Every structure is written in C-alpha cells, then in structure tokens.
Amino acid sequence: MALARQAQQLERAGRSREMLEVGQQIVKLKPQWSMGHYFVGAGQCGLGKLDEAERSLNKAISRDDSHYGMHTKLGEVLNRLGHKEEALRCAQRAIELAPNDADALVPAAMIRWLGGNASGADELLQDAIARGVDAPKLINVAALLSGEMGRLDEGIGSLERLLAAHDDGRKLPRLLHSEIRLHLAKLLDKAKRYDEAFEHARIGGDLRETGYDCDRIIRTCNERLDAWSAERYPRIPISRTKSEKPVFIIGMPRSGTSLVEQIIASHPKAYGAGELLDSYWSARELTDPNEHLRDRTEIVEQLKVASLDRHARKALKIMEKAAKREKGSGIERITDKLPNNYEHVGVISKMFPGARFIHCVRNPLDVCVSCFMLDFVGDKNHGYAYDLNHLANQYRVYERYMAHWHSIGTIPILDVRYEELIADLEGGARRIIDFIGLAWDEACASPHKTDRAVSTLSSDQVRKPVYSSSKERWRNYEQHIGVLIEALGTGEDAGDR
C-alpha cells in the first residue's frame, strides 16, 4: 500500500505531523488494518500527544499482536507517561517477538534504564552481543551503558572501534553517526578527557540538520512579548478552570528541572508527570498565527474564555488521569517539566490561573556546555544545542522571556538557583514545597530515594544523592567556548541578569 510506504518514510525522517496525517488517511480507508492505527499512534507520540498515542497503539495491537514495533512504541509512550511496569511489559513482549532484533532490544533496554534498572538494561544488551547481535545502534547504546555502569574504558573503546569500522563513522547513517559521537563525548567527559570530548561533540553537532534560525527565533520572541505586554496582560480573559494542581517547571534544559521535579514527586500528595506537551501545544494553538489571523497581538486580543476553558480542561484531564493511574486518588499537585514552556508562561497562566511556575536557573555557561555535550535525539529537538552561536542566541532569548514574565508582577513564579539548591537541598526543597502549597514531607529531602520512571536525559542523576561536581563545569572547556563567554559572561552575575 503506497500510503503505508509513505508513512514509513515519514517515520524514518522523524516527520511526525505528516505521518499522523497519512496514518489517519489509512485508518479511513482500512479501519481494521493495524498499521494505520500504528502510524497514527507513532505520529501522536512524536508530537507529544501521549494519551492519544496510547489509545491508538492499543487499537493497533488489538488488531494484530505480532508486530514487535507496536509494543516498543507503546512501551515508549507508557514510560513517558510514567507507567514503568506497564512499559516494561511492552518491552518484554517486543523481545519475545524479536529476540535478536536491535530495533526491539534497544528500546527495551532504554525502558529498563529510564525506569531505574541500568544494570538490567546492561545485562540485556551484553547478552545480545554475546549471542552475535552486532547492529551498530545496539553497540552504540551498550557502550554508553557500559560507561554509566563504571566501565568507562570499555565503553570508550567500543565506540571508537565502531567509528573505525565504518570509515570513521562516514559510512554510518548520519543521525546514528552523530549519536555515537555525542555518546563518546559524554564518556570522554566522564574520563576527564575534555579536549577529545569537545571535539567529538562538535563533530556530532555538525552532523545535525536543525534548521535553527537566530533571526526567526528573535523575531518570534519580540512578537510574543509585544502581544503579551504588561499593559495588555490584565485585560486578557482567564479560564474558569481554577485547579491548583498544575505546577509548571520551566527554564533552559540542564538547569535543574529534573531535580526540582523529583523533589516534588517525592511528596505523597504530588505526582511528577515529566515533560508533557499538552499545555505547550494548547498554548501554540491558542496564540500562534493561523490561516485566519497572522498578527499575534490581534490573536491575543481575541482570546475567549471558552477557548481557554476547553484547552485547560483537556490538558488537566490528561494530567489527572496519569497521576491517578500511577499514585491513586488524593493527588493535589501535578508537575509538567517541559523546559521550554518558558515561552508561553503568559497564556498558560491564563489557562490555569491557579497554577504555579518554578523557574530553574543555573550558571549560563554550565547550562550551555551541558546542552552542547548532549544528544537530545533527532535534528529538531532543542536544535540550538549543537552550535555555540545558536546556544548563545537561545539563552539570551530565554532570559528575555523570563524577565518579561517576572515584570508582569502577578504571575506566581519561584526562581530556584541550581547552585543554591545543591548546596542546601533540604532548605531549597522546603522552599519549593511551601511555594506549591503543600505541607512538608521528609521524603522531599531525599529525592534520590523515590522510585519512579524518569523519561528524560537526567534519569540517572535524579537517582543519585545530590552532588556538586557539575558546578562550574564550563571551566573544563574554557579554551573552546570563547563564543559563549563573550556572549554570556562567566555567569557569576547570572542571578542579576
């Protein structure tokens, strides 16, 4: 079927919105065919519509249980929703269907790893390698796991041999080559081989096709801040959804958002929902230019209470459903830690007038170096992270957004400095819990002991006692980051920026 081939090509290219549209066409033509529902679910997953993706993927599996890829995708969705045990069952089913296929084994290992079982993930991949499974994508993740398990030399050597076996990576698919370089950079950084680490991160970043446009990002920021001016903000309608449950944790990636969420999620009356996209997409739909209106200010001035209500109720329902499924009833606070909600604090505060915002702040150079050294997966996800000039631009734009939301004066925003939090974890945790309106619970002082699925790149850090070794990390790369230092300073005055 031509549409199915088109959907497969779109999936490989990471073009989720188009894949979703093609999948919907297939479902209309052949509603009983499992693959149509799979492509719809995979597209919804890529767009962060996880609740809808779960339903679509379950429809696909109910029609045909024999495709391991459906189980791995459902496992990814469930893990991102925080449902660790259900995700593990999906991963196990995929392995049963394809015990020697890297496309089943790697996602299964990632679900174990992100669920807090790094040793189980390591064992799974090492066993596969021992059986002769030698796919580059499997060796890549197995090597990264080796480094995380303390076998740094083994992991570094494995990745170096993998690159050498494929003409220094040139014969590998572009994105896989980039991932290997960035994983090697991470392990070399752990080994304190900083110059080599930076060079591999640079090569890996250069391989990404991000399409990041500094001028476009600045222009969009200007238009949004003009539309949401401090003078206009009080006149904009407010949703009638008064729930105090939503807590939005915002800031640049690598600024401490995962630690803050783990502190809150350790409270018996709170649930950490991870990086949700429902409020983000609602904010975009409510305020971005469309085929009828191009001017952002005009769009904001025409916002209606009914529209804000509809979007808020839908996003809140998804948050509450995930929280109840994982922790039962009685949950009073639910976090959404999608960092770049900082772009939309204005409209989100109008959708959820009872919500609170926690703004995570960290030394700008530490943030940018940490982003640069990391694989955010794919070309577009945090696409600014792979170029120092782009990172500097994005950081300055982020600062402008946050300064603006603070200037409005009526949005409840708590700034949490990462350096201060790790220096006094209990004091910082008490401040956070008090801000969100909950009584203190001692579990919040030991967040690393809380067992939960963490589906982001900070999953390992939040399960360890707080450490300070990442403070002033940028100094290890000082000779390479002149562009950042010139644009952002050394970060010592970051709290006053």
Q: What is the pLDDT of residues 342-357, one digit of tens each?
A: 999 999 999 999 999 9
pLDDT > 90 in the chain, percent: 84
Architecture of domain 214-496: 3-Layer(aba) Sandwich (3.40)
Residue 415's CB is within 10 A of a number of other CB atoms, namely: 14
Taking the C-alpha atoms of residue 486 and residue 488, their distance in angstroms, rounded to an integer, is: 6
pLDDT in tens, 374-416: 999 888 889 999 999 999 999 999 999 999 999 999 999 999 9
In this predicted structure, the answer to whether residue 482 has a pLDDT above a threshold of 50 is yes
| 323 CB-near residues (< 8 Å, 6+ apart) | 271, 273, 331, 334
Distances (CA, A) of 214 to 27, 40, 65, 374, 481: 39, 33, 46, 21, 18
Q: pLDDT band for 181, please (50, 70, 90 cuts).
A: very high
Residue 84: band (very low, low, confident or very high) from pLDDT cuts 50, 70, 90: confident
Judged against a pLDDT cut of 90, whether residue 306 lies above it is answered with yes
pLDDT at 460: 56
- State the chain's mean pLDDT as an integer: 93
Average pLDDT value for residue range 214-230:
97
Q: Say if residue 295's pLDDT is above 80.
A: yes
Q: What is the mean pLDDT of residues 165-181?
A: 96
Is the entire prediction scored with pTM above 0.85?
A: yes
Determine the pLDDT at residue 366: 97
Find residue 272's DSSP bridge partners: 335
pLDDT at 292: 84
Residue 455: what pLDDT?
A: 53
- Longest alpha-carbon distance in the chain: 66
Q: What pLDDT was estimated at residue 291?
A: 84
Q: The tokens of 434 are what?
A: 């008090």
What pLDDT, on a 0 to 100 scale, did the predictor assign at position 15? 86
CA nearest neighbour of 116 among 467, 469, 448: 448
Cite the residue boundaries of each domain of the chain with CATH code 1.25.40.10: 2-206
Structural element, H or E, at residue 119: helix 118-130
Q: What is the mean pLDDT of residues 454-474?
A: 64
User: Predicted confidence band at 496 (pLDDT cuts at 50, 70, 90)?
Assistant: very low
The structural architecture, per CATH, of the domain 2-206 is: Alpha Horseshoe (1.25)
pLDDT value of position 491? 62
Q: How high is the pLDDT of residue 458?
A: 55
CATH code 3.40.50.300 region(s) in the chain: 214-496
DSSP string spanning 324-376? HHHH-S---EEEE--GGGGGGHHHHHHH-TT-EEEEEE--HHHHHHHHHTS--
CB-based contact 169:180 (threshold 8 Å):
yes
